Structure 1
Amino acid sequence: MRLIDSHSHLFLEEFAEDLPQVMERAREAGVTHIFMPNIDSTTIEPMLRVCSAYKGYCFPMIGLHPTSVDAGYEKELEIVAEELSSPDKYVAIGEIGMDLYWDKTFRKEQELALDKQFRWALEYDLPVVIHCREAFDCIYKVLEPYRNTPLRGIFHSFTGTREEAARIMEFSDFLIGINGVVTFKKSALPEVLKNIPLERIVLETDSPYLTPVPNRGKRNESAYVKDTLIKVSEVYGELPEKVAQVTSENALKVFGMLK
C-alpha cells in the first residue's frame, strides 16, 4: 500500500534529534513521497538540506507563507523569485495563501503576495499549495480571475464548510488536503467529505502539527498519515488500499509526477 504525505515540515527543529528514525517510520508505514512546503527565507536552507539528504523521497516547494508577510514582504518575494529561476529545483509554489486568524494588519499585503505567487505558478507551470485560515472569501477573490487558466494546486489542511468545498471544486484542477483534523472528536470534516469525491482529495500530515487520533498530544510525523487514511476510508466506506491508491495518484498528478 502506497501512501503520500503531501504536506510535511520535517525540516523544522522539532525533528533535529531523530530525523532518520522519523523517515524510517514513514517508509515502514508505506509512505513513498513527502512533499515539503517552504515558510520564508529562514527555512529554505534547512528544507533543501533535508530534501538533498533524502533525494527522491522528499520534494521541496518554494513560497512565502502568509504569516511571514509583513511590511518587508517584497524582499522576501525577491528571494522566492530568485529561487524559482533555478530550473527544476522545486515541485510547487507553497506554502502560500492568507491567514487572518492571528493578525489582519497585513491583509492587503497578503493578497498582493498571493496574487504575485499565483502568477509565478502559471509562468513556471507549477502547482500552488494554499494555506487558508479565516480567509476563504479573501483567497477566493484573488483566485477568481484565474478560473480559466491552467492554475492548479491544493487547498491544504482544509477545515471549511460544505459550501467552501463546493466553491473549490468549481476549479477543476484544485484538490483538497485532508490531515489529522478529520480524526478529531468535534471535527465537522467527516460530514463535509461526504460531498467531496475521493478523486478530489489528497492526504497530508502538516507535521509537526495537527497530530491525528490516536496520537493526539504527540509531535506529528509523516508515518501518522496512515491514521488519517483509516479515518478517511471509514468516511468513504472504502478499503484503505483503495483510498491510498486514489489519493496517492491525485497527489502525484497535481505535482506533475504521475508516471
Structure 2
Amino acid sequence: MITDTHTHLYSDQFKDDRDEMIQRALDAGVSRFFIPAIDSTYNEAMFQLEHDYPKNVFLMMGLHPTSVKDNYKEELQLVKDWIDKRNFYAIGEIGIDLYWDKSFLQQQQDAFKTQIQWAKQKELPIVIHCRDAFDEIFEILEEENDDKLRGIFHCFSGNIEHAQKAISYNMKLGIGGVVTFKNGKIDQFLNQIDLKNIVLETDSPYLAPTPYRGKRNESSYIVNVLEKLVTIYNLSPEEIANITTKNSENVFGI
C-alpha cells in the first residue's frame, strides 16, 4: 500500500480523465490520497472528490500562500468556518512563497502563523509550502514550536541543514519528483535522513518525476519516486511503501 500525501486531484488538468487517472494510481497500489486546499474557489471540487472516493480521498483545509492577497482575511475566515464545521486531516497547504511575489510577505506570515495556531487548537498536523522562504518559515516555526506542532514539509527541496531543522520541528519531509531530478540535489544526502522522517508525495499535476519531467504529473507516478528511494536506502519497494505509509499514518492519524 502506497500513500500519496500531497496530490491536487481536483486540478483542471485532470478534468478530461480524472477517474481514469485515479484508477491508474489505484492499480499501481496507491490507495490513499491526501488532498491539500488552495483557497475557497477549489472547495467544491475537493468535496466532490471526497464524495466520489470516500475510502481513498482525505481532505485538508487551508489557505495557500500564493492565494494570500488583499482579501486574505476573508479567505482565512472561510477556512476557520470549515474547520469548525467538519473533520479534516490537516491544515494545508500553508506557508510562505516568495518566488512569484514578495509584496504580500507580511500577510503571508500572518496567515501562516494564524493557521498554525488553529491547527494546534484542533490537534491537527500542518502541511507546509515553502518556496524561496526557508528562513521566513523557520522563524515562524520557532515562534510556534511546542509539543502540538507537527506535520509535513511538503515538496522538500532544501539542503541537509534545512532537512534537519525541519525534522527538529516535528516535521516529516515530503519527498516527490525532485528526488529523481539530476539537479535536484536532495538525493545526494537523503540517505543521511532516517526513513522514519520521510513521506511520499507527487504534488500532481506538478513536478512530475523522471522520466515524465515537464509533463503532467499524476499520482501513479509516485512509483517512480518510490523506486528512487529504493536505490537511496537500499531497501525493497515493499519496505519503502510500508514505512512511508506508516509515517503518513503517524502524521494524519489514519
1:255 corresponds in structure 2 to 252
Residue identity in the other structure for 2:10: F
Q: Which runs of 5+ in 2 are unaligned?
A: none
Residue 53 of structure 2 is aligned to residue 46 of structure 1: no
2:180 corresponds in structure 1 to 183
User: Residues 33-182 of structure 1: matches in 2 within 5 Å?
Assistant: 33-88=32-87, 90-171=88-169, 173-182=170-179
Shift of 1:111: 0.5
Residue identity in the other structure for 2:20: Q
Residue identity in the other structure for 1:146: E
Q: Return the alpha-carbon distance in structure 1 between the equivalents of residues 125 and 86 of structure 2.
A: 15
Q: TM-score of the superposition, structure 2-length normalised? A: 0.98
More helix by share: 2
Q: Which runs of 5+ in 1 are unaligned?
A: none
1:28 corresponds in structure 2 to 27
What SS does the aligned partner of 1:244 have? helix
* Among 231, 234, 239, the residue aligned to 1:234: 231
Q: Return the alpha-carbon distance in structure 1 between the equivalents of residues 121 and 148 of structure 2.
A: 10
What SS does the aligned partner of 1:98 have? strand
Shift of 1:56: 1.5
Q: Return the alpha-carbon distance in structure 2 between the equivalents of residues 43 and 60 of structure 1.
A: 12
Shift of 1:164: 0.5
Shift of 1:148: 2.2
1:18 corresponds in structure 2 to 17
Deviations 1:177-198 (A, max 9, x none): 0001111111101013122110
Shift of 1:5: 0.3
Deviations 1:91-127 (A, max 9, x none): 1100000000111101011000000000000111111
Q: Return the alpha-carbon distance in structure 2 between the equivalents of residues 111 and 205 of structure 1.
A: 26
2:209 corresponds in structure 1 to 212
Where does structure 1 differ by over 6 angstroms across 4 or more consecutive aligned residues?
Answer: none
What SS does the aligned partner of 2:189 have? helix
- Paired residues, number: 254
Q: Return the alpha-carbon distance in structure 1 between the equivalents of residues 206 and 13 of structure 2.
A: 10
